[in-house]
Amino acid sequence: MTAITRSGFFRSLFAGSAAALFAVSRARAQAAKPHRIVIQVSQNDPDLMNLALNNARNLIDYYRAKNEDIDVEIVAYGPGLHMLRDDTSPVKDRIKQLSDVGFPSKLVFSACNNTKQAMEKREGHPIPIVPQAQIVPAGVVRITELQEQGYSYVKP
């Protein structure tokens, strides 16, 4: 059996305490990490649009039950912009409903302006967007920016 000196004992105690403190701090930082999800909708498919809304709702409900916040952004571009068009959306009632129940979590709907302008040119009239949506310059750029900010990417 080896004898432990007083200084050796305190060094070991300090090292063990520091390691435990680091582990606790790291666990707290991971627990406090915000949940952020971007969901892509790029097809004019009502089933896919409903699946995207189901994904958003399930995420919000799951983290709400754990008393944790989540930010969800649904980005629609290309043919998927029909999801956020006020005149053609097959899911605009669900969008309104989900927007109403999303708080305190953050739920954002983003419509691609590039697609909107192309549709307006092709159809010859202004394209109305649902009031719950914001217009972003380009859908794919928005998804890229969100991923660079740490958002997880989901494509239903």
- Here the tokens at position 11 are 């060094």
- Here the tokens at position 107 are 């739920």
What average pLDDT does the segment 15-32 reach?
Answer: 51
Within 13 A of 88's CA, how many CA atoms are on the CB side? Answer: 16
Rg (alpha carbons) of the chain, rounded to whole number: 23
pTM assigned to the model:
0.79
> What tens digit of pLDDT does each residue of 85-121 get?
999 999 999 999 998 876 666 899 999 999 999 999 9
pLDDT band at 146 (very low <50, low <70, confident <90, very high): very high
- Here the tokens at position 13 are 């105690």
What average pLDDT does the segment 24-43 reach?
Answer: 75
34-154 adopts what CATH topology? Answer: Hypothetical Protein Ychn; Chain: A, (3.40.1260)
Contact partners, residue 119, CB within 8 Å, separation at least 6 = 81, 85, 127
Looking at the chain, the number of H-run helices and the number of E-run strands are 5, 5
